[in-house]
Chain A
Amino acid sequence: MIRFYIPLILFSFMVFEGVSQSFLPNSLVQADFILIPHWVFIFLICIVIFFEREEEYRSIYYAVIFGLMIDIVYTDILGVYMFTYAITIYMIKGISRLLQANLLSAIIFSAVGIVTMEVLIQLIYIVIGLIQIQWKEYVILRLIPTVIANIVFLMMIYPFVVKWLSNWKVKIEKEMIS
């Protein structure tokens, strides 16, 4: 049963990402800088840090599946989010044992992850000719605000997420032993 909670949460985050623009205050949405909600990604990082054991690769499967769903529903160009989510989560998984699992490490890993993922996505979009951007403007107007906004979101969900994830982890480990 517990195994179903995580995809369910990921799915609802994905749905909320699309609706987010209508409940954020207008002054934020219409401002010059661009905030991109990467809530699915933030939660995936939490899973990597607080839930998954080292030899498990479930988070990467989730990254592939939900990245593909974001591609289908929100961008119409398949594969971009799928690939970048998967490869960034894989990278985060590789370095996640360097730090202890706490709020600070979650913030650091999210920031690193979002920057890598965003830049990768922009690179792919530029290569396929979808957008033309000035890197300087991109960093000031989109990358930095996005990282800050998503870290604020991480701090908001952090208390619940850690409690749930560590609870589930203990339960699953008990099941495995018995």
Chain B
Amino acid sequence: MHFLRNKRLFIILIGMIILVVLIGYSLSNRENLSKPEKMIHDTVGWFQSVVHKPINYVSNIVSNISDMKNMYEENRLLKEKLGEYKRLIYDVQQLKEENEELRKLVDKSDSIRDYQAIQSTVIARSPERWLEQVTIDKGEKDGVKTNMAVMTPDGMIGKISQVSDRTATVQLLTGFDQFNRISATVSRKGKKSIFGLIEQYDEKTESLIFRIIDESDKDLKKGELVVSSGLGGVFPAGLPIGKVIDVGLDQYGLTKTAYVKPAANMHELNNVIVVDRNLPTLDEEEGTNKKGDKE
């Protein structure tokens, strides 16, 4: 009996050591997943996508039925909006052409605004809700790399945190901490733009904290759109992030912070777009990037 108790203690001790080693390993800034992890990600991802399809189909039908209630009212509104959009599309078209021509003139073909979109579907969401992660069905084979921005048509939702061959994990904005910053900007007509960093997600106000670095323009108003500035070197510029809901001083009273409500709904994620910046990003070495020679 005495021996048995010792053995138990021994096993628990070994378990603790393994725990510490594994946590230490996974918290070290590793760039890529190890082979067995990738394999498990891919297998589980495959099953998830198989299970996800019928479930998604059924839940779509259910939500369609509930949508039908307000369909008439919405339809009327949308028809009104459509007229405006036609004009807008024409404007955008013209601006794009003009932009391209001007770019040719100055011989600068790449911009931090340009990106390639990789369409993908969300197949699972981490049950551990503190971490705010979702899994998508595109991976390394489809050109997804770590740190790429992920968005829905409404706005940015997060960035790729880990990639395996056929799936990838997305860290949502709502799970961002101090180590995942986005350089963002509020651009304005005529005046100087406001620059700052999206620092982290605040649970209490359910908004992102936007710390303003450049105090060029202090009169930030509620409802203004915050977009990514592309100056962080990873994301392309111009992805909408959210709207300002409140402005205040930070805890030391030194810099201004704004609370930004994310534009995209983080709970109803279905089809998302992985954004591959055309210009080489900071962490890519020269020569490894296909477009590297253009610069």
Contact = CB atoms under 8 A, between A and B. Distances in A.
Given A22-B56, A38-B127, 19 more contacts: A11-B47, A15-B47, A18-B125, A18-B127, A22-B270, A23-B55, A23-B59, A37-B127, A73-B44, A73-B135, A74-B131, A76-B26, A77-B26, A78-B25, A79-B19, A79-B22, A82-B19, A87-B12, A142-B129
B40 A21 contact: no
Given A19-B123, A73-B40, A78 B26 contact: yes
Which of B122, B123, B131: most chain A Cβ within 10 A? B131
User: 5 closest Cβ contacts across the A-B interface?
Assistant: A18-B124, A79-B22, A78-B22, A21-B125, A74-B126
A26 B127 contact: no
Interface of B: 12, 15-16, 18-23, 25-27, 37, 40-41, 44, 47-48, 51-52, 55-56, 58-59, 122-131, 133, 135, 161-162, 169, 267-268, 270
Question: Which DSSP category, helix, strand, loop or mixed, fits chain A's interface?
Answer: helix
Contacts of A12: 47
B23 A78 contact: yes
8 contacts: A22-B52, A36-B129, A72-B41, A73-B124, A79-B20, A83-B18, A83-B19, A87-B15
A62 to B, nearest CB: 15
Contacts, number: 110
A19 B48 contact: yes
Contact of B133 (A16, A76, A87): A76
Contact of A23 (B15, B25, B58, B127): B58
Interface string A67-85: 0011111111111101100
A61 interface: no
A131 B127 CA distance: 16
A72 to B, nearest CB: 5
Contact of A19 (B12, B21, B51, B268): B51
A130 B40 contact: no
A80 B56 CA distance: 30
Contacts of A26: 267-268
B60 to A, nearest CB: 10
Given A36-B127, A128-B27, A131-B130, A18 B135 contact: yes
A86 B51 CA distance: 27
A15 to B, nearest CB: 5
Contacts of B40: 69, 72-73
A122 to B, nearest CB: 9
A56 to B, nearest CB: 16
A20 B125 CA distance: 8
A14 interface: yes
Contacts of B48: 15, 18-19
Contacts of A135: none
